[in-house]
Amino acid sequence: MISPVKPEQGTKSAAGGGRGGAAAPGARPERSGTPDRPGKRAPGKRPLAARRRVLPVRTPGGLSLRLDVRAVLVGLLLLAVALAAGIVLIGSGDYPMTPAEVVGTLTGGGTAGQEFIVRDLRLPRVLVGLLVGAAFGIAGAVFQTVSRNPLGSPDVLGFGQGSAVGALTVIVYFQGGPFAVAAGAVVGGVVTGAAIFLLAWKRGIHGYRFVLVGIGAAAMLYALVLYLMTKANIVEATRATIWMTGSLNGRGWDQVWPLAAVCAVLVPLVLCYGRPLRMLEMGDDAAYALGVRVDRVRGIALPAAVLLVASATAAAGPISFVALTAPQLVRRLTRSPGPNPLPSALMGAALLVAADWSAQRLFGADQLPVGVLTGVLGGGYLLWLLATERRAGRV
């Protein structure tokens, strides 16, 4: 159940009744009236939403927050998993290190050799993985909320292909280095995003139209990618295929800093729009009625998500299905409505780093890029959706 609550009201009812998750503005009078409201049911039969535990937080400045206990716990757990996976990933490779050694080296207590391996070789790769995963996760959450469909993620809607066209143009026609390829990917992704945005614009952005225009663009851009592939010689074609699959191999500090800067600006921006985005899930009309400026929310959150996807793609290639799966897994873990932007970002980071570690363990170091594994996992996720979600009619 979605609770259209202003912060103050939420805290009040949470403090009073302890069920802020299902408290609607008009719920209080109804509690004593209509018998089918959750509040009137016998304690053992109350629906899931009514059993949520919510902590109100008030600061002296008058700011108040509703903290969903379960969501906070899930977020902390995911953060721990992401960090642990990162440490394990730093420790694995031709020169294995125990987690204790890794932590020791990171805090400045390692030998010179360990320092070099950790600081210069493996830490940047892990950081790129964490940032890319977080960017994909949060962008996927925004896209799925706006399109109101679990399949409406940027990799399905042609943004990956747009970046790929940019990157492949650089690879095939200019034989550019990694920097130029990354720049091409950003340009391709942003231009694609802007084009899809403009083409879907018709007195405002409608979620479904956005999705369909994205699908139309995806097929067209994929044809351009294939065309570029036929123009390449076999060496360039292999390089392009690896790039399109998405890989973390050989990523250094050069990739970390730009991505970190983009994330530092855009992730807080998206987090600020978490609440209106959650309202959007009820449909445009309901959101309007509740005072959400629908077009402005979409007009800010979507470009931010597009930029995040483009920068992440520039750093690691269009790694598929992280953006698709992370928000969905998070939604099931936290059981709370809305995009869950922060837990989605953490889930994306944890997923990607864990997938990179698994890819290295399963196929041998640097044999197959991480995108192959996430692609397979994405396929599994789709099958699972097929089995479970279809009956609920949510796909």
Which residues bind to other proteins, rule: CB under 8 A?
A: 149, 151-152, 155-157, 199-200, 202, 206, 208-209, 211-213, 215-220, 222-224, 226-227, 229-230, 234, 237-238, 241-242, 244-245, 320-321, 324, 368-369, 371-372, 375-376, 378-379, 382, 385-386, 390, 393, 395
- Smaller CB separation from other proteins, 81 or 242: 242
Instruction: Give residue for tokens 């209106």.
Output: 276
CB of 133: closest distance to other proteins in angstroms? 17
- Smaller CB separation from other proteins, 274 or 348: 348
- Burial label for 371, CB within 10 Å (0-12, 13-18, 19+), is buried
Tokens linked to 73 = 């716990």
- Smaller CB separation from other proteins, 22 or 205: 205
CB of 208: closest distance to other proteins in angstroms? 5
CB of 200: closest distance to other proteins in angstroms? 8
CB of 4: closest distance to other proteins in angstroms? 23
CB of 46: closest distance to other proteins in angstroms? 30
CB of 368: closest distance to other proteins in angstroms? 7
Please check whether residue 297 is in contact with residue 280, taking contact to mean a CB–CB distance below 8 angstroms: yes
Rg (CA), the chain: 22
- Smaller CB separation from other proteins, 2 or 151: 151
- Smaller CB separation from other proteins, 206 or 251: 206
CB of 346: closest distance to other proteins in angstroms? 24
- Smaller CB separation from other proteins, 74 or 171: 171
- Smaller CB separation from other proteins, 128 or 244: 244
- Smaller CB separation from other proteins, 198 or 261: 198
CB of 365: closest distance to other proteins in angstroms? 16
